[in-house]
Amino acid sequence: MRSRKLALITDLDNTLFDWVELWLSCFAPMLEEIVATSGIARENLIPEIAAVHQKHGTSEYSFLIEEVPSLQAFLKGRPATEVFVQAIEIYRKQRRRNLKLYPTVAETLLEIKGRGTKIIGYTESMAFYSNYRLRRLGLDGVLDYVFCPRDHLLPEGLQPEDFRKYPAERYELRHTEQDFTPKGSKKPDKVVLNTIVEDLGLSKADCVYVGDNLMKDVAMALDCGIDAVWAKFGQAHKRPEYKLLQEVTHWTPEEVAREQKINEREHVDPTYTLENTYSEILSLFDFTEFPERTQT
């Protein structure tokens, strides 16, 4: 008999969509265009890019070009948005083209949502980037909640309205409720997952967690006493293109050492495995309506 679940907690990157492929398809051609425009060798830019990413705690820093020292020297005060307009447009074009859900994700989430089950997203990607992807993927409102880190600080003297093309409300989630994970928190963080469950008034027995990373997602859920489903189809670290991401990663040496220590953990056995598609989860659980708490 399938166990009943009232809440689905899901990772986003490489679980609902292919984040590694998205990042690579945007960053790699942008970097090539930056090299062609500036004449600065790729091997000189890579460590400087990594330093900027580490400073801001993300590999998706929007003001990267402005802060890379070699590019600052090349710009000589000229606006990066004008000098590197082609590189920026390549990035944006590739992002629009390659941001898409894995097969069956949309219909599966809508099916679960239609049954009244709560759907909660939990990601390490910062708020701005997570919001953009949820809106573009049509998931604003499909997810009831999303938990993510706050955004990095803007460059000194710059305000959001200085670079936004549309009114502020166009950049906000309209239906999905957003909350923030503690500063510096990274998966696996069972304290954060426990807090999400408790704050939403959920029972662990009524939850299921889905993620692509055995050591971060699955082990964390198991440590919390929550059924853990491994999205095997989203194993990003096995792919050859992961090398470029490793070269410019926002992870500090301390975080890399932490990751290695996590991976030294004994083999993790998920409660269930999704071999090929997200929709396989529908055959594993009986997703039912979450009873809303009454106001007192």
DSSP 8-state assignment for residue 103 = T
Same domain for 136 and 180, yes or no, is yes
Q: Residue 264 carries which side chain, given as an amino acid letter?
A: E
Same domain for 219 and 270, yes or no, is yes
Q: Mean pLDDT over all residues of the chain?
A: 90
Same domain for 85 and 207, yes or no, is no
> Could you tell me if residue 9 is inside a domain?
yes
All residue ranges of the chain with pLDDT < 50 are 294-296
Same domain for 64 and 142, yes or no, is no
List phi, psi (to 5°) of 89: -70, -35
Quick: pLDDT tens for 74-114: 999 999 999 999 999 999 999 999 999 999 999 999 999 99
> Could you tell me if residue 76 is inside a domain?
yes
Beta strands in 11-136 (DSSP E): 118-122
> Could you tell me if residue 294 is inside a domain?
no
Same domain for 45 and 10, yes or no, is no
pLDDT at 238: 56
Same domain for 262 and 126, yes or no, is yes
Helix (H, G, I), strand (E, B) or coil at 290: coil
- Domain end residue (candidates: 42, 67, 96): 96
> Could you tell me if residue 195 is inside a domain?
yes
> Could you tell me if residue 89 is inside a domain?
yes
* Alpha-carbon gap, residue 170 to 173, rounded angstroms: 8
Quick: pLDDT tens for 18-61: 999 999 999 999 999 999 999 999 999 999 999 999 999 899 99
Same domain for 162 and 274, yes or no, is yes
- Domain end residue (candidates: 96, 123, 151): 96
- Domain end residue (candidates: 61, 96, 131): 96
DSSP 8-state assignment for residue 127 = H
List phi, psi (to 5°) of 140: -65, 110
DSSP class per residue in 236-263: GGGSTTHHHHHHT-S--HHHHHHHHHHH
pLDDT at 240: 65
> Could you tell me if residue 293 is inside a domain?
no
Same domain for 34 and 73, yes or no, is yes
The enclosing H or E element of 98 equals helix 85-98
Same domain for 34 and 161, yes or no, is no
| CATH code (residue 167) | 3.40.50.1000
Same domain for 140 and 116, yes or no, is yes
Same domain for 127 and 200, yes or no, is yes
Count of structural domains within the chain:
2
Same domain for 76 and 31, yes or no, is yes
Q: Which domain holds residue 124?
A: 3-17+101-287
> Could you tell me if residue 296 is inside a domain?
no
* Alpha-carbon gap, residue 11 to 17, rounded angstroms: 10
> Could you tell me if residue 292 is inside a domain?
no
pLDDT at 246: 83
Q: Give the angle subtended at the CA of 282 by the CAs of 278 and 286, to the nearest 5°.
A: 145
Tokens of 185: 């928190």
212-226 b/e (C-beta count within 10 Å ≥ 16 → b): bbbbbbbbbbbebeb
* Alpha-carbon gap, residue 81 to 78, rounded angstroms: 9
